[in-house]
Chain A
């Protein structure tokens, strides 16, 4: 593979090996000499899209916030990486925090913010401590911006940008109604840009290595792969590689003697695909213009020794537990669907439970407030239609006979 890694260059180093490095923040100095408009122009030319899952063009967001009235402006780095199957941001925070700080400096300069918050999920104690140690050094080189670490307290929903803002403000992390978008009215009602860790690190790499290097062999992107696979790991590859390539090439394929049954392409909120559907690109847009499947690029592989009803039960337990409780379809719906799946697995009135799930999926999907339940129904709906035989074997027969995972 002749692909030069940019984002994951330092991942093989030990956590403490660069304690005494003094970062030069060359990219930041380069950006501040250009002027903010030009910085946004460079990001637009690089075609950078948000890496957190939504894939919104970063330059548009920055430009909008830059032009918004209201002061002071804030920059928030979303390091609340909680999507099951995603573990790329934590690697950046542990092994390459200076690149993240540099990206924050450049972004803050472009939008005109003086304060930046890094919202780290509460479970990431070590990454947060590593960053806390290194921030003073970053402040010496980047005096225009103050970086603060705000630790979350364990809520998946706080990865949603407006819930994250509520959480920083010291409230329950519940999503806000959009519009107004945070770029106009965000943290404490001020214009705020919220970017993912990988997005900001990419910004730093664009200015450090130049646009030509950035685009040379396809846009660099971090992918994660886990589940029933030989090599569970984070790796860097160009944006738009085929999903089959990820599973069989980078992931090493399924364990010996087993076959790939389902692949969640971008975390557990994306619709799983069968083995024969893997020849599609991992990108923000499909070749035919439909929304892409990349999500947060956390691929989870499930092999043929698993019962898909059981897999559905597992992911619904996650969403039922992590629902913030703001809207009824998500708070009650997810829990009821989880119970219905349990009923199917244990053979309690399974026919009714299956009908119930079928009726609930579109209702929760359309009525819920934020993307949490939409993602859950996305995945569950796809499992329900594609692996209907698994459900039917439990409802009309004596079960699929496979060992349960939990």
Chain B
């Protein structure tokens, strides 16, 4: 399926003369991540499905997905920019608004809440002095309550950014986690 025609099309998506500062920024990102982006484009028979993985790569680099970048990615993949923005805002792991450097996600679905995730959230709110869904004033930590993370046997579960998990978290634990995140800066 990944014949040379597809590959050629994939290259077209990458190569375009940059106009304006946002496109220059985009070109910088593409040059840096070229290998990864080509791998993504080669996975599918058409360019469109690469939208979500490329936006994820972008988020990994920038910490969030600026709307301007969504527009540029969409144009290169030959998607309507409004449609691409609709996709970016649909998925809960994509940050279309600026968030903190670290995002603490606390699971609030049934199994976790039965094991006391509400108390963990309260402890986190007091330790950070913010409410659920807000970012600390220094822009370092965002606190979020999310729905099922898929580790119900280890409830309550806390996820930090999109990668690391903490299992069976108690209110004391979350205070320690926050302290450690703060010390890292």
A interacts with B: yes
> Given the complex, which residues of A lie within 8 Å of B1, measured CB to CB?
72, 114-115, 146
Known: A155-B92, A167-B52, A169-B48. A90 touches B163 (CB 8 A): no
Known: A124-B150, A172-B87, A300-B111. A150 touches B92 (CB 8 A): no
The residue that B90 contacts in the complex, of A124, A155, A268, with Cβ under 8 A, is: A155
A353 and B80 CA atoms in complex are apart in Å by 43
* Contact present for A300 and B162 (CB under 8 Å): no
> Given the complex, which residues of A lie within 8 Å of B108, measured CB to CB?
314, 317, 406
Interface residues on B, range: 35 or more
The residue that A226 contacts in the complex, of B50, B52, B152, with Cβ under 8 A, is: B152
A224-242: which residues lie under 8 A (CB-CB) from chain B? 224-228, 232-234
Answer whether residue B27 sits at the interface, using C-beta atoms and an 8 A cutoff. Answer: no
B114-133: which residues lie under 8 A (CB-CB) from chain A? 114, 117-118
* Contact present for A82 and B111 (CB under 8 Å): no
The residue that B91 contacts in the complex, of A83, A87, A155, with Cβ under 8 A, is: A155
A155 and B152 CA atoms in complex are apart in Å by 17
> Given the complex, which residues of B lie within 8 Å of A227, measured CB to CB?
110-111, 114, 152
Known: A153-B52, A171-B87. A224 touches B114 (CB 8 A): no
Known: A87-B153, A405-B114. A156 touches B147 (CB 8 A): yes
> Given the complex, which residues of A lie within 8 Å of B111, measured CB to CB?
84-85, 226-227, 232, 300
* Contact present for B109 and A170 (CB under 8 Å): no
> Given the complex, which residues of B lie within 8 Å of A150, measured CB to CB?
43, 49, 53
Of chain A, the residue at the smallest CB distance from B152 is: A226
A321 and B146 CA atoms in complex are apart in Å by 9
> Given the complex, which residues of B lie within 8 Å of A155, measured CB to CB?
90-92
Of chain A, the residue at the smallest CB distance from B165 is: A126
Answer whether residue B56 sits at the interface, using C-beta atoms and an 8 A cutoff. Answer: yes
* Contact present for B56 and A151 (CB under 8 Å): yes
Known: A86-B150, A126-B163, A232-B153. A170 touches B114 (CB 8 A): no
Closest 10 CB pairs of A and B: A153-B91, A154-B93, A226-B152, A154-B92, A232-B153, A406-B118, A170-B51, A170-B49, A172-B90, A226-B111
